[in-house]
Structure 1
Amino acid sequence: MYTIPNLLTMFRVVLIPVFVTVYFLDYAYAKELGAFIFWFAAITDWFDGYLARKLQQSSAFGAFLDPVADKLIVATALLMITHTYNDLWITLPAILLLAREVYISSLREWMGQQGLSANVQVSFIGKLKTTAQMLALIGLLSGLEYFMGYRIYWVSLGYIMLYIATVLSLWSMWIYTKAAWPHISARS
């Protein structure tokens, strides 16, 4: 249980209240620092998977906790950007992304109970969605459109990536549903 990958995953969960607290501090660079903490958590997600494979430290606990940690920090960030921007064009994709996560988690749970987990494993489109989603959230959380007098377009890029993530999310949801459909629609 106390392997390096699992410790990184647990650390990501512990970062959530730190991330939220820092982001909402009444400090000039709080949003940028909050976005950095979110970025750091996203990087640890990549490292824990890489190290689990490299060090052969995959475990049932890690397989359970890793997606839970991912969903917790992403859901938190999505709620934070809907609060920060108070904009339908941010809220709508955020709701779609959250709804998709709940749906896919439930689908995977049900398929696992049927002994069919392999049918709904993470796809390449799902990985692309996650990358686009993380980039979107970093850009939107940072609030940076200008830095040291230069236009850097992070918020604009965040908007674009949020919509790309939403399209990829719906596409991957279709792929997972299509793979599971014969089992869902089969008569008992």
Structure 2
Amino acid sequence: MNLPNILTMSRILLIPVIVALIFMDNWTTQWFAFTLYVIAALTDFFDGYLARRMQIISPLGRMLDPIADKLIVGALLIAFAFDGSFDMNLTVAAILIMMREIGVAGLREHLGAEQITVHVSDLGKYKTTVQLVALGAIMLIPLVPSLASAAYAMVWLATGLTVYTGYDYFKRAWPHLIDEKS
């Protein structure tokens, strides 16, 4: 156990609390949910930063960090589709994001079994940041309704980046998929 891994695990543990607070649907719990969400999202930056700075990059951390990212994004997308925060168009965006995230996770699993690594691109890292910012903006709509248009636009930007980086990841993995040895 080290500090970066503890931060990553804390992000995972905060997810059900954040979702429960969102479903309580009152001003105080919405602010508390948003505050916890910001803390969780910041751990995404600090766990990697500290691991590199302290030179304690671990197999556990390399595994847990992308899982934590996908869990928080996926849980909030589902929560917002369920509670009506998303209309049909944003639900389609949520489905596209989930399809990419699950597809890339499956691809990584397959390639990992073959000892093949396709590294995450810088754009893939920005994609996660845009997803987190967009979902935070959606969380703020009940508290600051004037943010709705900007929040919806951010969700679509996140969707575009998500779909593109998924395409790019599959494109870079394709030679390994068609290789007779894989």
Q: Which of these residues, 121, 125, 132, is aligned with residue 134 of structure 1?
A: 132
Structure 2 residue corresponding to 1:125, chosen from 123, 126, 137: 123
User: Using the alignment, how far apart are the partners of 2:123 and 2:44 within structure 1?
Assistant: 18
Describe the SS at the equivalent of 1:121: coil
Give the number of equivalent residue pairs. 180
| 1:92, distance to aligned residue in structure 2 (A) | 0.4
1:108-139 CA distance string (max 9 Å, x none): 1111122211xx21112212211211111001
Q: State the Cα deviation string for residues 141-175 of structure 1 (Å, max 9, x = none).
A: 222473xxxx7x43222111111111111111111
Match of residue 28 from structure 1:
27
Distance apart, 1:26 and its partner CA: 4.8
**1:10 Cα shift?**
1.0
Q: Which residue of 2 aligns with 1:101?
A: 101
Identity across matched positions, percent:
39
Distance 1:141 1:132 in 2: 14
Match for residue 176 of structure 2?
Answer: 183
State the distance in 2 between where 1:20 and 1:145 align. Answer: 16
Does the 8 A contact of 2:127 with 2:158 survive in 1? yes
The offset of 1:28, in angstroms, is 2.4
The whole-number CA distance in structure 1 between the counterparts of 2:154 and 2:86 is: 18
TM superposition shift of 1:38: 1.4
Cα contact 2:30–2:139 (8 A) shared by 1: yes
Moved over 3 A (4+): none
Is the CA contact (8 Å cut-off) linking 1:12 and 1:41 kept in structure 2? yes
Alignment of 1:31-180 (within 5 A): 31-84=30-83, 85-117=85-117, 120-144=118-142, 146=144, 153-180=146-173
Q: 1:86 to 1:95 in 2, by over 3 A?
A: same
Q: Secondary structure at the match of 1:187?
A: coil
Cα distance in 2, alignment partners of residues 86 and 57 from structure 1: 40
Contact map agreement 1:32 1:143 (CA 8 A) in 2: no
Counterpart of 1:156 in structure 2: which amino acid? S
The 1:145–1:89 alpha-carbon spacing in structure 2 relative to 1, beyond 3 Å, is: farther
Which structure 1 segments of 5+ residues have no match?
A: none
Please report the RMSD computed on the Cα atoms of aligned residues, expressed in angstroms: 1.6
Letter in 1 for 2:90: I
Counterparts in 2 of 1:86 and 1:132: CA distance versus 1, 3 Å: closer
TM-score of the two chains, using structure 2 as the length reference: 0.92
